[in-house]
């Protein structure tokens, strides 16, 4: 009986360790070198100079979709960087977009969530239809398939009680499953009489971050370095974290960072005061070769831009394996956006860059990735 009791206690201990992995801020295997090797670089789409590419979506090694926020249009390039066509421009007509979010590719079709609904296109950019959202507005963050999405609010501006939900929803039938609930404070929101400003600033704004791969959902508020792993019903698989100190910033820093001729001093002060006095711990979660990649943001006061300079790589169990730094050429720096302006797809990395003459570029690199086995 004593042996059985001891074995039972040992089993519980192992299960507990698997359910919550707390990592020191020191990777088990040291630094990883991506060994970037440039394949091509472009500065235009047909006759259009690239303005502000906000979102990159790479499809295996065949197509690259680009949403350019400055030009207010989407572009398609082939694997050699050749321009194919433009589609889904800003507007209110059929096939046009209002308030675009990330581009998603699902089962041979392109999905673009926006303020006017979920816009559906063929792989070649031909408009099919727009699925309008009935009832409360959802924020599609992940497309599981053609019918199902994972939705979660980014900020608290439409959440008067400060409670958010991660929801699995069928966009055709309207059926919903609540995966998890979480609290979200009204950071980055300033109001002046009837004007409400909701700032989503990468590196500053507390956001719910979601990632998905192989029926596992990775999620967490970026105000602490803790990531939950659940299945699509909300059943907990494990949790992993890193004991990392936050990078502190002052109100003066934030005011300098956000100051703009179009932003009244009173609103600027309210925004600076409402945002945390620290840089957020992570910005994106992805899975490559079975390993979990957590993208780490940083902000630069001189350029007033955020950037991704580091990626932490974890085992499927949540062990901190590698710290990788993204190092471009000396005359290139990452031009960051709130959406995906740096993407890993198989053996390649696509990034929006700016050169020393302030030209906006999209570059494709061959990279080396650690093996998940």
Which pLDDT does position 137 carry in this prediction? 58
- The residue among 339, 324, 335 whose CA lies nearest residue 363 is 335
DSSP assignment of 162-175: SEEEEEEEETTT--
Query: What is the number of domains present in the chain?
Result: 1
In a domain, 139, yes or no: no
DSSP assignment of 207-268: -EEEEEETTEEEEEETTSSEEEEE-TT--EEEEEEEE-PPPB--HHHHHHHH--TTS-HHHH
pLDDT along the chain (373 residues), means of 10: 43 49 97 97 97 92 93 96 96 91 92 90 95 69 94 73 87 90 66 60 85 95 94 95 92 82 80 84 95 91 77 97 94 86 94 94 97 74
Which pLDDT does position 14 carry in this prediction? 41
DSSP-based three-state secondary structure for 114: strand
Q: How far apart are CA 154 and CA 158, in angstroms?
A: 10
Q: Which residues pair with 217 in a beta bridge?
A: 212, 230
* Three-class HEC string of 320-358: EEEEEECCCCCCEEECCCCCCCEEEECCEEEEEEEECCC
In a domain, 100, yes or no: no
In a domain, 125, yes or no: no
In a domain, 371, yes or no: no
Domain of 15 in residue numbering reads as 2-68+158-366
DSSP-based three-state secondary structure for 8: helix
- The residue among 327, 242, 263 whose CA lies nearest residue 23 is 242
- Cα dihedral across residues 372, 218, 204, 53: positive or negative: positive
pLDDT in tens, 29-87: 999 999 999 999 999 999 999 999 999 999 977 899 999 999 999 999 999 999 999 99
Which pLDDT does position 197 carry in this prediction? 58
Which pLDDT does position 9 carry in this prediction? 42
In a domain, 79, yes or no: no
In a domain, 52, yes or no: yes
In a domain, 170, yes or no: yes
In a domain, 98, yes or no: no
- Cα dihedral across residues 27, 287, 334, 337: positive or negative: negative
């Amino acid at each position: 009986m004593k042996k059985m009791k001891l074995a039972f206690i040992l089993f519980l201990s192992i299960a507990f360790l698997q359910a919550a992995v707390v990592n020191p801020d020191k990777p088990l295997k040291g630094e990883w070198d991506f060994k970037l090797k440039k394949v091509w670089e472009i500065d235009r789409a047909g006759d259009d100079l690239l303005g502000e590419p906000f979102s990159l979506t790479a499809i295996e090694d065949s197509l690259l979709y680009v949403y350019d926020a400055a030009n207010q249009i989407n572009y398609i390039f082939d694997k050699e960087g050749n321009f194919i066509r433009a589609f889904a421009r800003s507007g209110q007509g059929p096939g046009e977009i209002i308030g675009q979010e990330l581009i998603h590719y699902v089962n041979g079709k392109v999905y673009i969530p926006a303020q006017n609904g979920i816009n559906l296109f063929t792989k070649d950019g031909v408009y099919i239809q727009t699925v309008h959202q009935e009832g409360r507005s959802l924020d599609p963050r992940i497309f599981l398939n053609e019918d199902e999405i994972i939705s979660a609010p980014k900020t608290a501006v439409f959440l008067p009680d400060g409670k958010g939900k991660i929801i699995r929803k069928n966009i055709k039938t309207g059926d919903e499953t609540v995966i998890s609930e979480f609290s979200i404070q009204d950071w980055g929101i300033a109001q002046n009489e009837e004007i409400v400003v909701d700032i989503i600033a990468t590196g500053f704004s507390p956001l719910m971050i979601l990632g998905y791969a192989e029926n596992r959902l990775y999620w967490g508020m970026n105000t602490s370095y803790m990531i939950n792993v659940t299945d699509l019903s909300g059943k907990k698989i494990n949790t992993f974290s890193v004991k990392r100190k936050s990078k502190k910033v002052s109100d003066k820093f934030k005011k300098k960072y956000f100051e703009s001729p179009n932003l009244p001093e009173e609103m600027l002060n309210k925004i600076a005061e409402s945002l945390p006095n620290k840089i957020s711990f992570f910005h994106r979660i992805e899975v490559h070769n079975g390993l979990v990649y957590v993208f780490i943001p940083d902000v630069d006061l001189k350029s007033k831009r955020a950037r991704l300079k580091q990626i932490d790589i974890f085992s499927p169990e949540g062990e901190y394996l590698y710290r990788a730094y993204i190092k471009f050429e000396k005359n290139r720096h990452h031009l960051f956006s709130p959406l995906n302006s740096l993407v890993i797809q198989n053996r390649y990395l696509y990034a929006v860059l700016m050169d020393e003459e302030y030209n906006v570029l999209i570059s494709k690199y061959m990279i080396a990735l650690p093996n998940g086995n």
